[in-house]
Amino acid sequence: MKRKNRKPMAASNRSAPATKSSPPPNPKNRRRWFRARLLMLGGIVLCVATLVLVRAFHLQVAQGDELREMAEDQHLRHLRVSPRRGAILDRNGAELAVSVDVDSVYANPRRLKANGQDPDAIARKLAPVLDVDVKKLRKRLSADRYFVWLKRRVTPHEATQVRELKIAGIALTNESRRYYPNRHLAAHLLGFANIDGNGIEGVELAYEDQLRGADRRVEAVRDRRGQVVFVDEFVDDREMQGHNVVLTIDKAIQHVAERELALGVRTFEARGGSVVVMNPKTGEILAIANYPPYNPNEPSKHQTPHRRNRAVVDRFEPGSTIKPFTVAAALAAGTLQPNQAIDCENGRMRLANRWLHDAHPYEVLTPTQILSHSSNIGTAKIALKLGRKELYRALRRFGFGEPTGARIPGEISGILRHFKSWYEVDTATTSFGQGMSVTNLQLTTALSALANGGRLMKPHLLKRMVDGHGSVVEENKPEVRRQVVPPRVARLVSDMLTGVTEPGGTALEASVDGYLVAGKTGTCLLYTSPSPRDISAYL
């Protein structure tokens, strides 16, 4: 029996009945949803951008200056570059005051704190080395600062000991210190500078602006530890350096003047004294010596009165040293003749119910003899004939009663009362130096006028000033203030004064073999503080 072949069923016939398909998405809905998501994303981006812009505005504009300052404070450091103070030299170039580099010790308290170091322990280590109180060091080391001084201008031995301790955060830096190599020589004239290098007295104060130079601030980049990495600007030391001041002082003459002054003060048991040496033709001050001396390298170890420049600060009654000016005024006015005989009344004369006396009785003397014997009565008669008005004017022409203009700090003018308040006896006593006061510098300047032909010179201490490049920026020339008496009168009085140092004169010990020495003695009553009445010395 034949098997009938069966055809396989088609797969489509065996499959499950087909389900109903979903409708295709609406294009409008798809666009709407895409737009919504895009708007949402744009809104988010816009909000973030707005926040960023607001924050940026707040940081860059509102807090810009403050944050910029904070950033610069963290990585920039403003260094104040101090110039080297100019030197003070004598007329021949010898150094009288110079600046030298010394070590100073400082600390970075914040670094010490970051390293976990104990300020108290460090203070105890440093106190005996620096000879500073432990409490003071502990307070400075505990400060919330990057920089504090521990001790400035230390000795080389102290600097070596600090280095050997090797304490992180304790370091040394170079500073300039004022040094006076000749110690007490011309100390009262030079003055001194303080620990910051600022002039306090004398030449250091008078020429402070020129000696100090110009400070400059430069920016330096530092690392996270606060150490300077590099400086952003090149600094020429010569541009900043203070001027060198060259004085008219001669170091050798200054030394001799101080030596002889000290000998004279000790010999006469005086409390103090001063000497002024001047070139009468130019007005240059060659020496100003004062006693007692002091060391400007250690000014705090000396009493303040010992530091004063007596030659310009102390005023005194000039006594008989005024007599040459009285004689010169009378000769110039024509009320006195060079060989005129004057009755000195045997050393005693009555004037307005007062008695004038001479040290020794004299009868008739010429003007030359009046000066050599220092007769008060003879000088008083010359002044009375000249008249109070002319005597006052003559003394004013010689510079008494006004400052000399020498540009020395502390100079006073002295006292010369106006002639309208004088009585007859005042005219007489003023003629021989009583009832008025002068300074040593005034007296020297006036006597120089008699030595140089009657010209009153302006005394000066500055010879020239030189900058860091060696160029002369200022130079003093001789300056004549006025002609006080005719040249013939000045020469005549100078010749008369040589009789003071010759046999029979009052200053025979001042004579020098082979030379004509003109001079005048006088007992000076000193008016000053703190000792208002002090017999100082003989001039």
CA–CA separation, 221 vs 78, rounded Å?
9
**Active-site residue, selected from the candidate residues 99, 104, 320, 372:** 320
Say if CB 129 and CB 170 are below 8 A apart.
no
Q: 505 is written with which tokens?
A: 């004169």
Nearest CA to 96 among 179, 33, 6? 179
Largest CA distance in the chain: 204
Answer yes or no: are the C-beta atoms of 247 and 463 closer than 8 Å. yes
Q: Which residues contact 271 (CB under 8 A, 6 or more apart)?
A: 265, 531, 534, 536
Q: Is 320 a catalytic residue?
A: yes
Helix then strand then coil, in percent of the chain rounded to 5, is 40, 20, 40
Q: How many residues does the chain have?
A: 539
Omega prior to 530 cis, within 30 of 0: yes
Residues in CB range of 276: below 8 A, 6 or more apart:
285, 287, 288, 311, 440, 441, 443, 444
Instruction: Report which secondary-structure segment, H or E, holds 135.
Output: helix 134-141
What DSSP designation does 220 have? E
CA distances from 208 to 73, 137, 195, 470 (A): 33, 33, 14, 19
- Could you count the other beta carbons within 10 Å of the beta carbon of residue 320? 23
Strands, sheet with 76-81, edge to edge from the N-terminal-most edge strand: 76-81, 216-222, 228-231
Q: What is the residue type of 513? A: D
Residue 432 CB: number of other CB atoms within 10 A?
A: 26
Residue 38 phi/psi, 5° resolution? -65, -40
Q: Which amino acid is at 185?
A: L
Q: How far is CA 532 from the centre of its chain?
A: 28
| Nearest in space to 299 (alpha carbons), one of 289, 307, 291 | 307
By annotation, the residues acting in catalysis are 320
